[in-house]
Amino acid sequence: MRITKWHLIPGLLLAAVPALLAWLGGMAAPIIGSAVLAIVLGVITRALIGPLDTTAPGISFAGKYILQTAIVLLGFGLDVGEVSRVGQASLHVTLITLALAFFTAFVLGRTLRVPGKLAALVGVGTAICGGSAIAAVAPILQSDEHDTAFALSTIFLFNLVAVLIFPPLGHLLDMGANQFGLWAGTAINDTSSVVAAGYAFSREAGDYAVIVKLARASMIVPVCLLAAAAMAWHNKQHPIENSGATAAQRSSVVPWFILWFIAASAARSAGWVPSSVLNGLHLASTLAMVLALAAIGLSTDLKRMRATGPRPILLGLGVWAAVALGSLAVQAL
């Protein structure tokens, strides 16, 4: 059956319900954030009503295309000039923690027998910028909604832990504002969690942590391009394994939305986007991301998540600990 725009409406309307509740809940409880609430409420809604054929097209559309649109809109919040200035000072910490995250995800993933794509998503989410990085890389790796939802849930769990324990640990270690800002900006994933932890320590630490976080988020571009190249090589090496893939699935290896993300960042940095419009674009990006994550939650099968067991959580813990301790060690050295 040919899918038309009218077939998308039931699924989009269904996803909008947990998305709206998550957005309101995120404003009331910023320490949790709307993103994790969207996933959780989507999963709960799916468990209560079950999968519906009439809503499947719209949910699939939101989980893929609206998600990619949200990534593009995020680019308007990235001032390349400001990020590059702070990014140069924190580059060594960022690169080492990225390497630690990917290495730990690979080794622990093999040890715990976590599926390769799920381990890659957890590694990317911990290394770069949490949900945004997972959302960007998942379509490139052609990951299913189950792996995406599980990776997002794992990342957000340790974001919450970090927000609670980082500020008192920073004071216990007698860290300065820039030291703590660098630690929070490189070892906490989601932007809202970085903001919560940074400003809980001090205003100066919060300001610095946010810029470090934005510099770290810019690494999403080379990582996505590397992921695309790796998938292209894998598909070339395993033509039989990928012979059943559709043309659309094979073409999704090319991250077109990352190119638009770069264009949006360039437009913002060049001053082509009026400052009066930026707040609206930020709101549109947030709403699109929350809607897409609610749709991913609606696509998630709880029975399958239970069958996967605690191994992805243990993987997330190991990768997160490696990044947090690695960031501290690099600063100490």
50-54: average pLDDT: 83
**CB contact at 8 A, 290 and 156:** no
Q: Give the pLDDT confidence score for residue 252 in this predicted structure.
A: 44
33-43: average pLDDT: 81
Q: Give the pLDDT confidence score for residue 105 in this predicted structure.
A: 93
How many Å apart are CA 309 and CA 127, to the nearest integer? 23
Confidence check: pLDDT of 129 > 90:
no
pLDDT digits (tens, 9 = 90+) for 314-324: 998 999 999 99
Confidence check: pLDDT of 109 > 80:
yes
Question: What does the mean pLDDT of the chain come to?
Answer: 82
pLDDT digits (tens, 9 = 90+) for 267-316: 988 888 888 898 899 889 889 988 988 888 888 777 766 766 788 889 98
Q: Give the pLDDT confidence score for residue 249 in this predicted structure.
A: 44
Concatenating the DSSP letter of every residue in 120-173 gives HHHHHHHHTTTHHHHHHHHHHHT--HHHHHHHHHHHHHHHHHHHHHHHHHHHHT
How many Å apart are CA 77 and CA 33, to the nearest integer? 18
172-179: average pLDDT: 92
pLDDT digits (tens, 9 = 90+) for 213-222: 877 877 888 8
How many Å apart are CA 269 and CA 284, to the nearest integer? 19
pLDDT digits (tens, 9 = 90+) for 201-259: 888 888 788 778 877 877 888 888 888 888 888 777 766 454 444 444 444 444 577 67
How many Å apart are CA 185 and CA 86, to the nearest integer? 11
Bin 26: left if φ > 0, else alpha if -120 < ψ < 50, else beta.
alpha
Confidence of residue 32 (pLDDT cuts 50, 70, 90): low
Q: Give the pLDDT confidence score for residue 244 in this predicted structure.
A: 45
pLDDT winner (highest mean) among 42-51, 195-204, 236-245:
42-51
pLDDT digits (tens, 9 = 90+) for 59-106: 989 988 887 888 788 788 777 776 677 667 777 888 898 899 999 999
Confidence of residue 133 (pLDDT cuts 50, 70, 90): confident
